[in-house]
């Protein structure tokens, strides 16, 4: 027994003890393997949440491990080459590759050691690779590793209805070819981050995004959404009392089951495909729209000849419209000051009883555009206003003003990211037509076909406006809302 063990020690020594290089390689591999396993265990018990631990455990250590494994045979080869060259070896030069004589028990042991270690190594490498892939697909990796670069998108994502959807599910989707493409472009992005050559802000639309029907429709299938949806929008006026008013829309969302009526039934029906040509990067200025029906017939709507210059038109490319041409902000929803202040008033974060808070809030937020000192200016401005105009309020309930300052600063930090040069309206939202052109990029009277027929802007095609800026809409009373 003791003799056998000694034999295996000798075999191990033959594999690793050949020279300093192999020893070094063996140690490198051994220590990396030990640390990888340790960090995997920490992950299992949820102790290693930091994105940097992930990078070390699944990207750097496996790299060092494989490097160590490569050094071991390289050292052995180097040693053999050295022995062949040495003067003692001159008469009977040893062959370059080892001679395997399986009749020798030592050789058999060396082979056993190599086979067992290789099996172990493969296990470690495959586990680390698998975990590495999972890690690179995680929200932590996409959203938090390059913290500054992804901060705007990650912050907005964290408030969105898609918080439980991983970044890769929209950005890459399933399937090997897209996976490989994303890793290739991801490597480029990693270098851009290392050398600070990334653009600020990160541009949108995302180049080469996978067709959204292949990603969104993993979860939302068009047949599912049918019918109308009641939408109640609350705005607040610029007056002292911040008077609330309500707009009630019946949105005709439509769906696959109802092929004639509604937004989805029209725009994502397989019966008709819409192609459009935009002259700007952000796809806001549209020069031509083409609708191709299943039977091959086509309608073309064009902008008047002189609307866009020749240079603009020369760069324009055609694109088939899909989900993200309307839902371009399903997850990174950056809002405008008035929307944010309305929302804060509506859910009580801002006190409706604070005089002029709507007007003031929108003013101070709009004035802040992503420069140093914005936050203290918001604070100063609000304080000054109430000190000068409503000293009584300041005296009676100072906490209301402190609360308002805190909420306004929060709104600022959710939407403005100076380091990435992202400010109000950097990323327009295409769903609607109030703050950005949205649907009216095409549903406007300047795009017309040969007969002069325009893309419809009839106010009842997309929604019925049941109430418009009313303080107490009759329709809501009827519905008992
Ligand atoms: C629900 C789907 C969805 C999820 C989840 C999602 N994104 Fe996006 N993302 C989009 C869409 C759609 C765009 C805009 C694409 C376009 O207009 O071409 C976008 C754009 C971006 C952009 C470009 C800049 C911009 O704001 O338009 C970045 C960067 C980005 N996403 C990062 C992330 C990160 C990081 C995560 C995870 C924390 C994530 N995304 C999760 C759908 C998603
Ligand atoms: C992995 C699944 C998944 C993917 C992929 C996905 N979504 Fe969603 N989506 C959800 C879930 C879950 C919700 C939340 C439903 C809820 O809160 O009721 C949601 C909600 C929505 C909503 C309603 C938001 C609201 O304000 O109520 C829209 C619109 C939407 N998704 C569009 C998209 C678009 C566009 C894409 C592709 C870019 C996409 N989704 C990709 C799962 C997904
Ligand atoms: C022509 C523009 C347009 C296109 C294209 C479009 N949508 Fe929509 N979608 C809308 C509008 C407008 C709404 C209503 C928004 C609201 O409720 O505020 C909506 C609502 C939704 C909702 C919420 C439905 C509900 O019942 O609340 C989901 C989910 C959704 N869309 C997913 C998709 C997916 C997935 C695609 C691509 C297959 C897609 N949409 C394509 C305009 C579009
Ligand atoms: C890229 C151009 C483009 C954009 C952007 C666009 N549409 Fe359309 N839409 C069209 C065209 C073209 C038609 C067909 C008009 C026709 O044949 O008269 C159409 C038709 C429709 C119809 C059917 C109209 C009818 O008469 O029955 C609805 C509903 C609709 N769109 C909703 C929307 C909504 C909602 C949005 C914004 C979220 C939107 N569209 C954005 C190009 C566009
Ligand atoms: C091509 C489709 C389409 C047409 C045509 C259209 N709308 Fe809209 N409208 C929308 C969508 C989409 C929204 C956004 C709903 C939401 O907030 O999700 C919207 C929102 C609104 C709102 C609420 C805005 C707010 O935030 O208070 C009003 C008011 C409105 N539309 C009025 C009109 C009027 C008036 C017309 C006719 C000139 C019209 N719309 C034509 C698609 C359309």
Q: What is the pLDDT of residues 412-423, one digit of tens each?
A: 999 999 999 999
Q: Which residue has the tokens 């038109």?
A: 313
324 with 447, same domain: the answer is: yes
Starting at the edge strand that comes first in sequence, how are the strands of the sheet with 244-252 ordered?
228-236, 244-252, 463-470
The backbone torsions φ and ψ at residue 88, rounded to the nearest 5 degrees and listed phi first, read: -60, -30
Is 465 inside any structural domain? yes
pLDDT digits (tens, 9 = 90+) for 119-163: 998 998 888 888 888 888 888 888 887 788 899 999 999 999 999
Length of the chain in terms of residues written: 481
Q: How far is CA 333 from CA 147, 430, 434, 440, in A?
A: 18, 11, 15, 20
If asked whether residues 77 and 197 sit together in one domain, one would say no
Domain assignment present for 207: no
Q: Give the count of domains, the chain.
A: 4
Over residues 189-203, mean pLDDT: 83
Is there a single domain that holds both residue 117 and residue 197? Answer: no
Residues 8 and 115 in one domain: yes
Among 236, 267, 338, 462, residue to substitute to test ligand 5 (most atoms within 8 Å of Cβ): 462
Task: Please write the tens of the pLDDT for every residue from 278-292.
Answer: 999 999 999 999 999
Q: Which residue do the tokens 């007007």 mark?
A: 359
pLDDT tens per residue across span 249-274? 999 988 755 556 789 888 888 888 99
Q: Are residues 69 and 162 in the same domain?
A: no
Contact 12, 113 (CB under 8 A): yes
| Contact of 66 with 154, CB cutoff 8 Å | no
What is the reported pTM?
0.88
How far does the chain reach from its first CA to its final CA, in angstroms?
85
Instruction: Answer yes or no: is the C-beta of 247 below 6 A from any ligand 5 atom.
Output: yes
CA gap 455, 322 in Å, rounded = 18
Q: Which of 199, 326, 331, 431 to mutate to test the pocket of ligand 1 (most atoms within 8 A of CB)?
A: 331
Tell me how far the alpha carbon of residue 154 lies from the centroid of ligand 1, in angstroms. 9
φ/ψ (deg, to 5) at 448: -140, 155
Nearest listed ligand to the Cα of residue 328? 1
Q: Ligand 3, residues 210, 225, 319, 463: which to mutate, most atoms within 8 A of Cβ?
A: 225
C-beta 462 within 6 A of ligand 5: yes
Closest C-alpha among 164, 167, 159, 268 to residue 210: 167
Based on the fold, state whether residues 348 and 323 are members of the same structural domain.
Answer: no
H or E segment to which residue 338 belongs? helix 337-346
The domain containing residue 384 runs over which residues? Answer: 337-420
Q: Is 326 in the pocket of ligand 2 (CB under 6 A)?
A: no
Q: Is residue 433 part of a domain?
A: no
Residue 215 belongs to some domain of the structure = no
220 lines ligand 1 (CB under 6 A): no
Whether 68 and 46 map to the same domain: the answer is yes
pLDDT tier at 182, thresholds 50, 70, 90: confident
State how far the Cα of 138 lies from the Cα of 50, in Å rounded to an integer.
12
């Amino acid at each position: 027994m003791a003799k056998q063990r000694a034999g295996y020690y000798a075999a191990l020594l033959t594999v690793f003890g050949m020279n300093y290089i192999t020893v070094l390689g063996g140690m490198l591999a051994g220590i990396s393997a030990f640390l990888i396993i340790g960090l995997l265990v920490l992950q299992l018990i949820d102790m290693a949440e930091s994105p940097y631990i992930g990078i070390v455990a699944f990207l750097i250590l496996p790299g060092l491990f494989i490097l160590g494994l490569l050094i071991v045979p390289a050292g052995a080869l180097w040693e053999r080459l050295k022995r062949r060259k040495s003067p003692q070896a001159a008469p009977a030069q040893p062959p370059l590759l080892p001679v395997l004589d399986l009749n020798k028990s030592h050789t058999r042991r060396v082979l056993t050691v190599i086979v067992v270690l290789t099996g172990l190594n493969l296990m470690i490498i495959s586990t680390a690779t698998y975990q590495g892939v999972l890690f690179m697909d995680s929200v932590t990796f996409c959203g938090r590793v390059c913290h500054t670069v992804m901060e705007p998108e990650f912050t907005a994502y964290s408030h969105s209805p898609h918080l439980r959807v991983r970044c890769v599910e929209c950005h890459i989707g399933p399937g090997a070819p897209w996976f490989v493409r994303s890793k290739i472009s991801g490597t480029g992005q990693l270098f851009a981050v290392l050398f600070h050559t990334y653009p600020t802000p990160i541009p949108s639309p995302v180049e080469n995004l996978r067709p959204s029907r292949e990603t969104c429709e993993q979860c939302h299938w068009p047949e599912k959404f049918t019918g109308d949806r009641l939408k109640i929008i609350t705005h607040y006026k610029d007056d002292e009392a911040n008077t609330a008013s309500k707009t009630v829309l019946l949105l005709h969302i439509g769906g696959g089951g109802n092929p004639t009526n509604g937004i989805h039934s029209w725009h994502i029906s397989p019966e008709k495909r819409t192609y459009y040509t935009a002259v700007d990067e952000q796809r806001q200025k549209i020069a031509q729209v083409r609708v191709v029906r299943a039977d091959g017939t086509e309608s073309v709507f064009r902008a008047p000849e002189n609307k866009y210059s020749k240079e603009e038109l020369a760069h324009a490319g055609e694109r088939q419209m899909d989900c993200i041409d309307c839902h371009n902000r399903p997850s990174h929803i950056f809002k405008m000051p008035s929307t944010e202040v309305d929302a804060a008033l509506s859910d009580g974060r801002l006190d409706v009883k604070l005089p002029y808070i709507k007007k003031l809030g929108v003013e101070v937020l709009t004035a802040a555009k992503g420069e140093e000192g914005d936050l203290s200016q918001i604070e100063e401005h609000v304080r000054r206003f109430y000190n000068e105009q409503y000293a009584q309020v300041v005296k009676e309930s100072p906490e209301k003003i402190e609360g308002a300052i805190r909420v306004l600063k929060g709104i600022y930090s959710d939407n403005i990211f100076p380091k990435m040069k992202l400010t109000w309206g950097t990323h327009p939202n295409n769903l609607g037509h109030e703050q950005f052109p949205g649907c009216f990029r095409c549903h406007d009277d300047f795009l017309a076909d040969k007969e002069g027929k325009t893309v419809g802007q009839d106010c009842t095609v997309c929604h019925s406006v049941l109430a418009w800026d009313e303080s107490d809409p009759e329709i809501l009373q009827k519905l008992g809302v």
